[in-house]
Structure 1
Protein backbone atom coordinates (compact mmCIF):
# COMPACT_ATOMS: atom_id res chain seq x y z
CA UNK A 1 0.00 0.00 0.00
CA UNK A 2 1.48 3.37 -0.99
CA UNK A 3 1.21 6.53 1.14
CA UNK A 4 -1.86 7.87 -0.69
CA UNK A 5 -3.70 4.55 -0.29
CA UNK A 6 -2.67 4.39 3.39
CA UNK A 7 -4.00 7.92 4.04
CA UNK A 8 -7.26 7.15 2.24
CA UNK A 9 -7.65 3.94 4.30
CA UNK A 10 -7.01 5.91 7.52
CA UNK A 11 -9.66 8.47 6.51
CA UNK A 12 -12.14 5.68 5.79
CA UNK A 13 -11.37 3.97 9.11
CA UNK A 14 -11.81 7.26 10.97
CA UNK A 15 -15.13 7.89 9.20
CA UNK A 16 -16.39 4.37 9.93
CA UNK A 17 -15.55 4.83 13.63
CA UNK A 18 -17.30 8.22 13.67
CA UNK A 19 -20.35 6.73 11.92
CA UNK A 20 -20.56 3.90 14.46
CA UNK A 21 -20.15 6.28 17.41
CA UNK A 22 -22.84 8.60 16.03
CA UNK A 23 -25.33 5.80 15.42
CA UNK A 24 -24.87 3.15 18.13
CA UNK A 25 -25.90 3.05 21.74
CA UNK A 26 -23.52 2.75 24.67
CA UNK A 27 -20.22 2.24 22.82
CA UNK A 28 -17.43 0.46 24.65
CA UNK A 29 -13.98 -0.25 23.25
CA UNK A 30 -14.86 -3.94 22.85
CA UNK A 31 -18.15 -3.16 21.13
CA UNK A 32 -16.40 -0.78 18.72
CA UNK A 33 -13.78 -3.41 17.84
CA UNK A 34 -16.54 -5.99 17.22
CA UNK A 35 -18.56 -3.62 15.04
CA UNK A 36 -15.48 -2.74 12.98
CA UNK A 37 -14.96 -6.47 12.39
CA UNK A 38 -18.58 -6.95 11.37
CA UNK A 39 -18.37 -4.02 8.92
CA UNK A 40 -15.17 -5.32 7.34
CA UNK A 41 -16.17 -8.99 7.41
CA UNK A 42 -19.47 -8.29 5.65
CA UNK A 43 -17.73 -6.04 3.12
CA UNK A 44 -15.17 -8.79 2.41
CA UNK A 45 -17.98 -11.28 1.85
CA UNK A 46 -19.43 -9.01 -0.84
CA UNK A 47 -16.29 -7.55 -2.44
CA UNK A 48 -13.23 -9.49 -1.28
CA UNK A 49 -11.80 -6.35 0.40
CA UNK A 50 -12.16 -4.64 3.77
CA UNK A 51 -13.88 -1.26 3.80
CA UNK A 52 -11.40 0.22 6.31
CA UNK A 53 -8.15 -1.20 4.93
CA UNK A 54 -7.53 -2.81 8.32
CA UNK A 55 -5.99 -6.22 8.87
CA UNK A 56 -7.36 -8.28 11.76
CA UNK A 57 -5.80 -10.31 14.55
CA UNK A 58 -7.10 -13.36 16.37
CA UNK A 59 -7.36 -12.40 20.04
CA UNK A 60 -8.97 -14.06 23.05
CA UNK A 61 -12.25 -12.16 22.81
CA UNK A 62 -12.49 -12.36 19.03
CA UNK A 63 -11.08 -10.64 15.96
CA UNK A 64 -9.68 -7.13 16.40
CA UNK A 65 -8.52 -4.53 13.85
CA UNK A 66 -4.75 -4.65 14.20
CA UNK A 67 -3.79 -0.95 13.99
CA UNK A 68 -6.69 0.21 16.17
CA UNK A 69 -6.03 -2.49 18.79
CA UNK A 70 -2.25 -2.13 18.96
CA UNK A 71 -2.32 1.68 19.10
CA UNK A 72 -5.28 2.15 21.47
CA UNK A 73 -6.32 4.86 22.45
CA UNK A 74 -4.04 6.88 20.16
CA UNK A 75 -5.69 5.24 17.13
CA UNK A 76 -9.02 6.98 17.79
CA UNK A 77 -7.62 10.42 18.56
CA UNK A 78 -8.27 13.27 17.81
CA UNK A 79 -11.84 12.42 16.72
CA UNK A 80 -12.83 10.26 19.72
CA UNK A 81 -11.77 9.61 23.30
CA UNK A 82 -12.08 6.78 25.75
CA UNK A 83 -13.01 6.91 29.40
CA UNK A 84 -12.92 4.09 31.92
CA UNK A 85 -15.65 3.54 34.47
CA UNK A 86 -15.02 1.54 37.63
CA UNK A 87 -15.89 -2.13 37.81
CA UNK A 88 -19.00 -3.29 39.60
CA UNK A 89 -19.00 -6.55 41.60
CA UNK A 90 -17.23 -9.23 39.53
CA UNK A 91 -17.06 -7.30 36.26
CA UNK A 92 -14.12 -5.62 34.55
CA UNK A 93 -13.89 -1.84 34.31
CA UNK A 94 -15.83 -0.60 31.29
CA UNK A 95 -13.95 1.48 28.73
CA UNK A 96 -16.42 3.71 26.89
CA UNK A 97 -15.69 5.51 23.64
CA UNK A 98 -17.27 8.81 22.67
CA UNK A 99 -16.87 11.36 19.92
CA UNK A 100 -14.92 14.53 20.43
CA UNK A 101 -16.96 17.64 19.67
CA UNK A 102 -16.66 18.61 16.02
CA UNK A 103 -15.82 15.13 14.70
CA UNK A 104 -17.37 14.84 11.24
CA UNK A 105 -18.39 11.76 9.27
CA UNK A 106 -17.46 11.99 5.58
CA UNK A 107 -19.96 10.05 3.46
CA UNK A 108 -18.09 11.09 0.29
CA UNK A 109 -15.52 8.38 1.09
CA UNK A 110 -18.11 5.63 0.61
CA UNK A 111 -20.16 4.21 -2.25
CA UNK A 112 -23.93 3.79 -1.96
CA UNK A 113 -23.38 0.07 -1.33
CA UNK A 114 -20.91 0.83 1.48
CA UNK A 115 -23.31 3.32 3.09
CA UNK A 116 -26.08 0.71 2.97
CA UNK A 117 -23.72 -1.80 4.57
CA UNK A 118 -22.79 0.61 7.38
CA UNK A 119 -26.45 1.36 8.02
CA UNK A 120 -27.38 -2.34 8.03
CA UNK A 121 -24.60 -3.16 10.53
CA UNK A 122 -25.85 -0.40 12.85
CA UNK A 123 -29.45 -1.54 12.45
CA UNK A 124 -28.66 -5.19 13.08
CA UNK A 125 -25.93 -5.00 15.74
CA UNK A 126 -25.80 -1.41 17.05
CA UNK A 127 -27.95 -1.95 20.13
CA UNK A 128 -26.27 -5.22 21.15
CA UNK A 129 -23.83 -5.46 24.03
CA UNK A 130 -20.17 -6.31 23.58
CA UNK A 131 -20.83 -9.69 25.25
CA UNK A 132 -23.44 -10.65 22.64
CA UNK A 133 -21.22 -9.34 19.84
CA UNK A 134 -18.36 -11.45 21.18
CA UNK A 135 -20.52 -14.58 20.93
CA UNK A 136 -21.49 -13.62 17.38
CA UNK A 137 -17.87 -13.12 16.31
CA UNK A 138 -16.96 -16.48 17.85
CA UNK A 139 -19.91 -18.61 16.75
CA UNK A 140 -22.04 -16.69 14.22
CA UNK A 141 -25.32 -14.76 14.35
CA UNK A 142 -27.37 -17.77 15.46
CA UNK A 143 -24.82 -18.75 18.12
CA UNK A 144 -27.47 -20.00 20.58
CA UNK A 145 -29.21 -22.44 18.24
CA UNK A 146 -26.78 -23.12 15.41
CA UNK A 147 -23.14 -22.28 16.22
CA UNK A 148 -20.82 -22.28 13.20
CA UNK A 149 -17.08 -22.08 12.69
CA UNK A 150 -16.37 -18.39 12.12
CA UNK A 151 -13.28 -16.92 10.43
CA UNK A 152 -11.97 -16.12 13.94
CA UNK A 153 -12.25 -19.80 14.88
CA UNK A 154 -10.72 -21.00 11.59
CA UNK A 155 -7.77 -18.65 12.06
CA UNK A 156 -6.96 -20.14 15.48
CA UNK A 157 -9.24 -18.42 17.99
CA UNK A 158 -10.71 -21.60 19.44
CA UNK A 159 -7.24 -23.14 19.59
CA UNK A 160 -6.04 -20.06 21.50
CA UNK A 161 -3.50 -19.18 18.81
CA UNK A 162 -3.72 -15.47 19.54
CA UNK A 163 -2.17 -12.49 17.73
CA UNK A 164 -2.31 -14.32 14.39
CA UNK A 165 -3.62 -12.41 11.39
CA UNK A 166 -6.99 -13.19 9.89
CA UNK A 167 -6.61 -12.81 6.14
CA UNK A 168 -9.36 -11.99 3.64
CA UNK A 169 -9.06 -15.61 2.46
CA UNK A 170 -9.82 -16.74 6.05
CA UNK A 171 -12.88 -14.49 5.97
CA UNK A 172 -14.03 -15.87 2.62
CA UNK A 173 -13.63 -19.62 3.24
CA UNK A 174 -16.93 -21.30 2.46
CA UNK A 175 -18.70 -18.03 1.60
CA UNK A 176 -20.93 -17.45 -1.41
CA UNK A 177 -18.39 -14.90 -2.66
CA UNK A 178 -15.62 -17.51 -2.61
CA UNK A 179 -17.84 -19.97 -4.49
CA UNK A 180 -18.68 -17.28 -7.05
CA UNK A 181 -15.02 -16.35 -7.62
CA UNK A 182 -13.99 -20.00 -7.87
CA UNK A 183 -16.82 -20.51 -10.35
CA UNK A 184 -15.50 -17.65 -12.48
CA UNK A 185 -11.94 -18.99 -12.31
CA UNK A 186 -12.68 -22.67 -12.78
CA UNK A 187 -16.06 -22.88 -14.46
CA UNK A 188 -19.66 -22.55 -13.34
CA UNK A 189 -20.71 -22.53 -9.69
CA UNK A 190 -22.51 -25.82 -10.40
CA UNK A 191 -19.16 -27.56 -10.90
CA UNK A 192 -17.96 -26.73 -7.37
Structure 2
Protein backbone atom coordinates (compact mmCIF):
# COMPACT_ATOMS: atom_id res chain seq x y z
CA UNK A 1 0.00 0.00 0.00
CA UNK A 2 1.33 3.44 -0.89
CA UNK A 3 1.05 6.30 1.60
CA UNK A 4 1.36 9.90 0.57
CA UNK A 5 1.06 12.96 2.72
CA UNK A 6 -0.06 16.38 1.50
CA UNK A 7 2.79 18.86 1.44
CA UNK A 8 2.01 22.05 3.35
CA UNK A 9 4.22 24.67 1.72
CA UNK A 10 3.88 27.28 4.47
CA UNK A 11 4.74 24.69 7.11
CA UNK A 12 7.65 23.57 4.93
CA UNK A 13 9.04 27.11 4.78
CA UNK A 14 8.64 27.58 8.54
CA UNK A 15 10.18 24.16 9.30
CA UNK A 16 13.17 25.05 7.18
CA UNK A 17 13.52 28.44 8.92
CA UNK A 18 13.19 26.73 12.31
CA UNK A 19 16.00 24.28 11.44
CA UNK A 20 18.16 27.13 10.12
CA UNK A 21 17.56 29.17 13.27
CA UNK A 22 18.77 26.29 15.45
CA UNK A 23 21.66 25.16 13.24
CA UNK A 24 23.22 28.53 12.50
CA UNK A 25 24.05 29.01 16.18
CA UNK A 26 26.73 26.32 15.87
CA UNK A 27 27.33 25.41 12.20
CA UNK A 28 26.82 26.78 8.69
CA UNK A 29 23.64 25.09 7.42
CA UNK A 30 23.80 23.57 3.96
CA UNK A 31 21.21 22.09 1.64
CA UNK A 32 22.60 18.67 2.57
CA UNK A 33 22.60 19.16 6.34
CA UNK A 34 19.11 20.69 6.42
CA UNK A 35 17.74 17.88 4.23
CA UNK A 36 19.15 15.23 6.54
CA UNK A 37 18.04 16.97 9.74
CA UNK A 38 14.51 17.18 8.32
CA UNK A 39 14.62 13.52 7.24
CA UNK A 40 15.55 12.34 10.72
CA UNK A 41 12.98 14.67 12.32
CA UNK A 42 10.29 13.38 9.94
CA UNK A 43 11.19 9.77 10.71
CA UNK A 44 10.93 10.42 14.45
CA UNK A 45 7.65 12.32 14.01
CA UNK A 46 6.17 9.57 11.84
CA UNK A 47 7.16 6.92 14.37
CA UNK A 48 5.78 8.84 17.37
CA UNK A 49 2.83 10.73 15.89
CA UNK A 50 1.90 9.01 12.61
CA UNK A 51 2.72 11.79 10.15
CA UNK A 52 5.55 13.76 8.57
CA UNK A 53 6.04 17.31 9.80
CA UNK A 54 5.22 19.16 6.58
CA UNK A 55 4.08 16.22 4.45
CA UNK A 56 7.01 16.11 2.03
CA UNK A 57 8.12 13.06 0.03
CA UNK A 58 11.69 11.79 0.09
CA UNK A 59 13.78 10.71 -2.87
CA UNK A 60 16.79 8.40 -2.66
CA UNK A 61 19.57 10.60 -3.97
CA UNK A 62 23.26 9.74 -4.09
CA UNK A 63 24.02 11.38 -0.73
CA UNK A 64 20.88 10.20 1.05
CA UNK A 65 17.17 11.03 1.25
CA UNK A 66 16.12 14.45 -0.05
CA UNK A 67 12.78 16.12 0.76
CA UNK A 68 11.37 16.73 -2.71
CA UNK A 69 9.31 19.89 -2.21
CA UNK A 70 11.76 21.49 0.22
CA UNK A 71 14.51 20.87 -2.34
CA UNK A 72 12.35 22.54 -5.00
CA UNK A 73 11.98 25.58 -2.74
CA UNK A 74 15.75 25.71 -2.23
CA UNK A 75 16.35 25.39 -5.98
CA UNK A 76 13.91 28.28 -6.53
CA UNK A 77 16.00 30.45 -4.21
CA UNK A 78 19.23 29.27 -5.84
CA UNK A 79 17.85 30.15 -9.27
CA UNK A 80 17.70 26.69 -10.83
CA UNK A 81 14.01 25.94 -10.55
CA UNK A 82 12.78 22.64 -11.96
CA UNK A 83 10.31 23.03 -14.87
CA UNK A 84 7.96 20.63 -13.06
CA UNK A 85 7.75 22.96 -10.03
CA UNK A 86 5.92 26.19 -10.80
CA UNK A 87 4.85 27.87 -7.55
CA UNK A 88 2.51 30.84 -7.52
CA UNK A 89 3.96 34.35 -7.40
CA UNK A 90 2.82 34.58 -3.77
CA UNK A 91 4.67 31.40 -2.76
CA UNK A 92 7.77 32.45 -4.71
CA UNK A 93 7.78 35.77 -2.90
CA UNK A 94 7.38 34.05 0.49
CA UNK A 95 10.30 31.74 -0.24
CA UNK A 96 12.56 34.47 -1.61
CA UNK A 97 11.95 36.56 1.52
CA UNK A 98 12.56 33.61 3.88
CA UNK A 99 16.06 32.45 3.01
CA UNK A 100 18.90 32.68 0.52
CA UNK A 101 21.52 30.34 -0.87
CA UNK A 102 25.19 31.37 -0.71
CA UNK A 103 27.88 29.59 -2.74
CA UNK A 104 25.31 27.15 -4.19
CA UNK A 105 25.00 25.08 -0.98
CA UNK A 106 24.99 27.24 2.17
CA UNK A 107 21.61 28.48 3.43
CA UNK A 108 21.00 31.70 5.34
CA UNK A 109 17.67 32.66 6.84
CA UNK A 110 16.34 36.12 6.07
CA UNK A 111 13.76 36.18 8.86
CA UNK A 112 12.76 34.37 12.02
CA UNK A 113 10.50 31.30 11.76
CA UNK A 114 6.80 31.71 12.48
CA UNK A 115 6.27 28.90 14.97
CA UNK A 116 2.49 29.36 14.80
CA UNK A 117 2.69 26.99 11.82
CA UNK A 118 4.47 24.29 13.86
CA UNK A 119 2.92 22.05 16.48
CA UNK A 120 4.63 21.24 19.76
CA UNK A 121 5.38 17.75 18.41
CA UNK A 122 6.88 19.24 15.22
CA UNK A 123 9.24 21.42 17.24
CA UNK A 124 10.08 18.56 19.61
CA UNK A 125 11.26 16.35 16.74
CA UNK A 126 13.02 19.20 14.92
CA UNK A 127 14.86 20.17 18.12
CA UNK A 128 15.89 16.58 18.77
CA UNK A 129 17.10 16.08 15.20
CA UNK A 130 19.12 19.31 15.18
CA UNK A 131 20.70 18.39 18.53
CA UNK A 132 21.55 14.84 17.45
CA UNK A 133 22.48 15.36 13.78
CA UNK A 134 23.03 19.08 13.18
CA UNK A 135 26.75 19.13 13.92
CA UNK A 136 27.65 15.99 11.98
CA UNK A 137 29.83 16.07 8.89
CA UNK A 138 28.59 15.65 5.33
CA UNK A 139 30.09 12.15 5.26
CA UNK A 140 28.53 11.06 8.57
CA UNK A 141 25.09 12.44 7.65
CA UNK A 142 25.28 10.65 4.31
CA UNK A 143 26.30 7.40 5.98
CA UNK A 144 23.56 7.56 8.64
CA UNK A 145 20.85 8.45 6.13
CA UNK A 146 21.77 5.50 3.91
CA UNK A 147 19.38 3.40 5.97
CA UNK A 148 17.15 0.48 4.95
CA UNK A 149 14.47 2.86 3.65
CA UNK A 150 16.99 4.63 1.40
CA UNK A 151 18.39 1.26 0.26
CA UNK A 152 14.87 0.09 -0.68
CA UNK A 153 14.56 2.67 -3.48
CA UNK A 154 16.50 3.04 -6.68
CA UNK A 155 18.69 6.12 -6.92
CA UNK A 156 16.61 9.23 -7.76
CA UNK A 157 13.34 7.39 -7.04
CA UNK A 158 10.72 8.00 -4.38
CA UNK A 159 11.29 6.29 -1.03
CA UNK A 160 8.00 4.62 -0.15
CA UNK A 161 6.68 5.75 3.22
CA UNK A 162 5.99 2.11 4.07
CA UNK A 163 9.70 1.35 3.66
CA UNK A 164 10.49 4.13 6.14
CA UNK A 165 7.89 2.72 8.53
CA UNK A 166 9.41 -0.77 8.26
CA UNK A 167 12.54 0.59 9.97
CA UNK A 168 10.51 1.32 13.16
CA UNK A 169 10.06 -1.00 16.14
CA UNK A 170 6.33 -0.11 16.11
CA UNK A 171 5.87 -0.49 12.35
CA UNK A 172 2.70 -2.61 12.63
CA UNK A 173 0.97 0.00 14.79
CA UNK A 174 1.98 2.87 12.47
CA UNK A 175 0.81 0.99 9.37
CA UNK A 176 -2.51 0.22 11.06
CA UNK A 177 -2.88 3.88 12.04
CA UNK A 178 -2.25 5.05 8.48
CA UNK A 179 -4.73 2.52 7.10
CA UNK A 180 -7.40 3.62 9.59
CA UNK A 181 -6.46 6.92 11.29
CA UNK A 182 -9.95 7.31 12.77
CA UNK A 183 -10.95 3.91 14.18
Deviation, structure 1 residue 11 = 1.2
Instruction: Decide whether aligned partners of structure 1 residues 68 and 179 sit closer, same or farther in structure 2, where only a CA change above 3 A counts.
Output: same
**Alpha carbons 1:79, 1:99 under 8 Å: kept:** yes
Aligned to 1:21: 20
Count of aligned positions: 153
1:183, 1:33 → 2: CA distance?
28
> Which of 67, 86, 96 pairs up with 1:77?
96
Instruction: Decide whether aligned partners of structure 1 residues 96 and 181 sit closer, same or farther in structure 2, where only a CA change above 3 A counts.
Output: closer
Answering whether residue 52 of structure 2 is matched by residue 50 of structure 1, we say: yes
Structure 1 residue ranges, 4+ long, deviating more than 4 angstroms after superposition: 181-184
Instruction: Decide whether aligned partners of structure 1 residues 16 and 83 sit closer, same or farther in structure 2, where only a CA change above 3 A counts.
Output: same
For structure 1, the 5+ residue unaligned runs are 85-93, 140-149, 156-160, 185-192
1:78, 1:108 → 2: CA distance?
18
1:35, 1:72 → 2: CA distance?
15
Instruction: Decide whether aligned partners of structure 1 residues 42 and 71 sit closer, same or farther in structure 2, where only a CA change above 3 A counts.
Output: same
Deviation, structure 1 residue 70 = 4.0
Deviation, structure 1 residue 174 = 4.2
2:57, 2:122 → 1: CA distance?
18
> Which of 167, 170, 179 pairs up with 1:177?
170
With a CA cutoff of 8 Å and minimum separation of 6, indicate the structure with the bigger relative contact order: 2
Aligned to 1:125: 133
**Alpha carbons 2:162, 2:175 under 8 Å: kept:** no
Aligned to 2:161: 168
The TM-score normalised by the length of structure 1 is 0.70
Aligned to 2:106: 96
RMSD: 2.3
The TM-score normalised by the length of structure 2 is 0.74
